[in-house]
Chain A
Amino acid sequence: MAKTTKKAAPGTMKKVLAYIGRYKLLLPISILLALFTVASSLYFPVLIGDAIDCIAPWGDDSGFARMHEIFLEALILIALTALAQWLMSTINNRIAYHVVRDIRNDAFGKIEELPLSSLDKKARGDTVNRVINDAERFGEGLLLGFTQVFTGVLTIVGALAFMLMTNVVITVAVVLITPLSIFVAKFIGSRTFNMFKERSECEAETTAHIDEVLGNQKLVKAFGMGERECESFDKLNGRLEVSARRAIFFSSLTNPTTRFVNSVVYAAVALIGALAVMTPVGGMSVITIGMYSRILAYSGQYTKPFNEISGIIAEFQNALASASRIFELIEEPAEESDADSKELTEVRGSVEIKDVSFAYAPERPLIEDFSFTAKPGQRIAIVGPTGCGKTTLINLLMRFYDAKSGAILVDGENITDVKRGSLRSKYGMVLQDTWLKAGTVKENIAFGREDASDEEIVAAAKSAHAHSFIKRLKDGYETKLGEDGEGLSQGQKQLICIARVMLTLPPMLILDEATSSIDTRTEIRIQKAFATMMEGRTTFVVAHRLSTVVDSDAIIVMNDGHITEVGTHEELLARGGFYTTLYNSQFAKS
């Protein structure tokens, strides 16, 4: 499938070379092998030409002995060339696949290091596309570049050299005509560029429509909109047809036209060569029939790479464009290194928030000069309507984001002074957004403690009330879950997430609407398990059901991204502010 040529950022080639540079030893070997295969495949026609010259007219076998000598030479050459060809492709494969592997590893590693502020801004599909498809396309382009551009260029140079050695006049004629084919290829390429762009646009639009409709197929069906959606799809599909047909047809003209130019070159060589055989140009050695056939063979070999290289260069440019997209990801600034920071060791669980201000975007300040202290073992609730920014506070506590000013201290230690990992390991976190990895149920529960014994895992599952449903799964704890816990309901996933934390039991807890998808009866049981767990642990609870936060040590009330009130349930009710409205609304009867 032809693709549009995209521009790569400047300097991309240099970065690519740096990756290739890791395989320093292989590269020169590959180049040497390429030189050898090109030279020998060019030399082969010489041998064959000589052998043909050994053929005398009818009844004369005087040349046969010489011919057989040549054959022996040719056989050895064939064997060596084949071996060199294979070794070269093997080495090229190795370089290309290893470079792609290295780039992918770096890109993936970067995902783990990026600050969440930049990761949250990206569309997941886009990043995945870079790591997977762009890397793939780049690898293909690289391999093609290695195997074909390189040997192609060498073949052109070599063929010219051999032709020069055979006959200067013919060579000059060939060189003069060939730029034509490059010109033709370029002309067509530039004309089709816009057509491909148009096709890509049609394609993107059609794909977006498909994605929207099929992604919500059940909804489309529920409203009986199938026919209407078919109609709008057909419109897009029809436009795509027209633009695709045009782009594909015009781009496919390159090959026939360059082939035509080549056949003109071939005819010219045939003519000049034949004339030269008949009437040797003054002073020049006589051209034999064998040499004639050889020159014809060279002119074919010489023009062929032109045909291919124009196509490959476009492909290679696409590959570089892909590479530059991966490099964009790899070169993004990572989170500031904390290798030199100290470890946060034994924690009692006091959390002090001092004059903290934070905003995702500077023009929309959210948290301003907020101060708050949680003593070890206290239970702090964060409440407010959906989308009010409760999660922001968690982002700051866990250092997913850093406060703009002010400081958060854990046991008197500023959290920016300690290793992020050691801070985070002190929190057990259950988010509303359940995330499980592809793997068994057991692996998922033991995610935070791989050395946990089976008994411990079952115990954790039991306290999360997940044991009974896990037991009923096809393979119990060994049941394999798909990506993001595929095969489980939202509530079941949440229970496993809770079991995951139950197993690690860190000194502080963050429960972000941890039970939102679980029915209230089970929730009450889990709350009891949480209560046991929270004993002596500082806990931050984000809750949408206010009944569960009533007896917290402190309640932080948020609205519209701002912290509006802080206090105990009684204090807040007495104040009669936003919390009171919230609290009363849940008992409102219609």
Chain B
Amino acid sequence: MKRLLKYLKYYKKETVLGPLFKLLEASLELIVPLIIAAVIDRGIATGDTSYVVKMCLLLVLLGAVGLFFSVTAQYFAAKASVGFVTRVRHALFGHMQKFSYSDIDELGSSGMITKLTADSDKVQSGLNLTLRLLLRSPFVVFGAMIMAFTVDATSALTFAAVIPVLAVVVFGIMLITMPLYKKVQGGVDKILRKTRENISGVRVIRAFGKEEDEISEFKDENEKLTKIQKRTGHVSALMNPLTYVIINVGIIALINVGALRVYEDPSMTKGDVVALYNYMAQILVELIKLANLIISITKALASASRIADVLDKEPSQSFGTLENSTSASDYYLEFENVSLRYRSSGEDSLTGISFKVRRGETLGIIGGTGSGKTSLINLIPRFYDATGGSIKLFGEDIKNYSEAALRRKIACVPQKAVLFRGTIRENMCWGNPDAEDDELLFAIDTAQAAEVVSDKGGLDARVEQGGRNFSGGQRQRLTIARAIAAKPEILILDDSFSALDYATDAALRRKIRERIKDTTVVIVSQRASSVMDADLIVALDDGEAVGIGTHEELLSGCEIYREIYESQFGGAGNG
């Protein structure tokens, strides 16, 4: 939480002045019963009309001054709360950019999005309310009590008795309901999941004729949610009646004591009793406001602590400072006995992988589902860190390079082809913001995407969110072009041809070979045809390299590679 509070430092003035003006306004309200008492005891009792008029004008004046105070307070509160959250969001967004892939896996992207949107929003409104109101209610309650003491100490003892009882009731109910509110949220999550699930799975559900079952499951969850909501509602519904009873019984006690005091003490007047009564009534009004406020604040605090958790999380990777290698090594990429175990997993995903690739060579990686292909290539740009062995780029350990250097030297085409909203040009410039048009067009042509771009209307054609105005194959070719445009020294293609037909696949690989000769290309694929021409092929099975060599070598020496090859080129594949 401290992490968050530091962003409030920029609004020191506002956070002090806001509540202060609010308190000034509240103290004006406390004077009102005194004026009414004066009207009764001095004005009415002596029949002094001009005094009464003066006092009533004073009431209006107090109202006007109160208005000024409160508007000032609102301004400071709005400025501080919105500004604070803007800074928190900025810090949060920037912090998230530093996270490694493992960190992202851990947090989950939908979780990160909620923290920047819904949670930030709750914190903003919670802070705004806090600055405006939190100090006010206790101030009015205790202020009313103190004012009561100035009117008549003996009668005011009633206040001293009532306020602790009220505190116990208000906080007691809060303590009971807070965990219940959490449960309600959990119930909402469940029906949310059920709804999402049913929309995405509609075909399967209908194919199996499970509509009725799904509806009854939903109804069950919904009923459970309703039950918790009702239970929570019933408990929090106690708040008003209980405070009502306490305050009003307090009022009766107060008048009783007050009456005795008037009887005993000549200096005590009827007007005093009315004033005391008014103070008690003010407390009641204030408490109702406080109860609502506290609910919002508890929600805001929960959100704030979720945000603080993210900010407190240190990015799990640190990078070196090396920009360029000075080593004279022949090899661009060397794996030495590399193994990888993901944080959430108990078993190694990769074990003892070793190979070397020279500049301009092509490395093919092939293997079955879950054999570790993507895990392996994710180690090259340090998306994940190897948990054993060492990886060298251009003869230097990859841990020595700066993050920027790694990103500049290595470009990656992930399995899922994603484009961002904007223009084709903007998307193409990701890895190379200053790229000239002819560089981009060269990359696009190499990736067999020239037709796609010209069909859509050139480099400035619009790309909708997620690139949904392009087909899967078109997106895939554009993402390949994007990586080529970055002019990397190592280009990684992670199963990037899956949506392309075999002819386009082949043409693309030929162009890459011809046009970017100096770049070391890593191709991950399930298709033997995509990797068979590579200078070196690594065949993976269950995280282990079961074969390393050329196509011919593996065909004769690696059973798994042979099986894959034959399953795709006729042979045994007639299942």
Contacts and interface: CB of A to CB of B under 8 A. Distances in A.
Contact of A212 (B70, B368, B420, B513): B420
A172 interface: no
6 contacts: A78-B248, A89-B234, A131-B195, A249-B75, A270-B56, A586-B502
| Most chain A Cβ neighbours within 10 Å, of B259, B369, B420 | B369
A575 interface: no
B444 interface: no
A416 interface: no
A244 B121 CA distance: 11
A267 B59 contact: yes
A264 B60 CA distance: 5
A443 to B, nearest CB: 11
Contact of B195 (A127, A222, A400, A425): A127
Contacts of A440: none
B197 A483 contact: yes
Contacts of B204: 429, 431, 435, 447, 497
A216 B113 CA distance: 11
Contacts of A233: 90, 93
Contacts, number: 446
Interface string B526-550: 1001000100000000000000000
Contact of B383 (A89, A221, A588): A221
Interface string B155-172: 000000000000000000
Interface string B446-479: 0000000000000000000110000111000000
Interface residues of B, number: 166
B256 A71 contact: yes
Contacts of A530: 575
A548 B79 CA distance: 66
Given A55-B273, A93-B233, A271-B56, A264 B63 contact: yes
Give 9 closest A-B pairs by Cβ, nearest first: A519-B368, A527-B575, A224-B407, A491-B369, A263-B63, A226-B97, A93-B233, A89-B237, A267-B59
Contacts of A173: none
Contact of A214 (B116, B420, B486, B569): B116
A218 B209 contact: no
Interface of B is mostly: helix
A407 to B, nearest CB: 20
A585 B501 contact: yes
B199 A237 contact: no
B299 to A, nearest CB: 11
Interface stretch (A60-68, A159-167, A357-365): A60-68
Given A58-B263, A519-B367, A71 B252 contact: yes
Nearest to B29: A263
B66 A438 contact: no
Interface in A221-235: 221-230, 233-234
| Most chain A Cβ neighbours within 10 Å, of B63, B225, B472, B572 | B63
A205 to B, nearest CB: 11
Interface stretch (A22-30, A290-298, A313-321, A345-353): A290-298
A57 B262 contact: yes
A226 B315 CA distance: 14
Given A221-B97, A277-B44, A228 B188 contact: no
Contacts of A17: none
B39 interface: yes
A127 B197 CA distance: 12
A469 B369 CA distance: 12
Interface in B63-89: 63-64, 66-67, 70-71, 74-75, 77-79, 81-83, 86, 89
B186 interface: no
A61 B263 contact: yes
Contact of A217 (B109, B124, B486): B109
Nearest to A526: B575
B274 A289 contact: yes
B529 A267 contact: no
Contacts of B39: 270, 274
A267 B75 contact: no
Contacts of B207: 398, 424, 427, 429
Contacts of B116: 210, 214
B328 interface: no
B510 A590 contact: yes
B501 A385 contact: yes
A57 B215 CA distance: 73
Contacts of A44: 248
A523 B567 contact: yes
Interface in A473-531: 483-484, 489-492, 497, 504, 517-528, 530-531
A20 interface: no
A82 B242 contact: yes
A128 B71 contact: no
B503 A48 contact: no
A267 B506 contact: no
Contact of A421 (B62, B209, B472): B209
B421 interface: yes
A525 B71 CA distance: 75
B147 interface: no
B117 interface: yes
A437 interface: yes
A85 interface: yes
A93 B96 CA distance: 41
A136 B188 contact: yes
Given A54-B259, A270-B56, A274-B52, 4 more contacts: A81-B241, A420-B206, A521-B560, A589-B529
